[in-house]
Amino acid sequence: MNKPSDLAELRKSYEAGELDEAQAASLPLQQFRAWLEHAIEARVPEPNAMTLATIGTGSDGIARPSTRVVLIKGCDERGIVWYTNYESRKGRELAAHPFAALQFHWVELERVVRIEGRVERVSDAESDAYYATRPLDSRLGAWASPQSRVIESRAVLVTGAAKAAVQHGLHPPRPPHWGGYRLVPERFEFWQGRKSRLHDRLRYTLQEGGSWLRERLAP
Please tell me which residue in 78, 121, 197, 201 is annotated as part of the active site: 197
Q: Among this protein's residues, is 89 annotated catalytic? A: no
8 phi and psi angles, rounded to 5 deg: -65, -15
| Selection from 172, 66, 75, 83 nearest residue 124 by Cα | 83
d(CA 212, CA 190): 14
Q: Which residues are catalytic?
A: 197
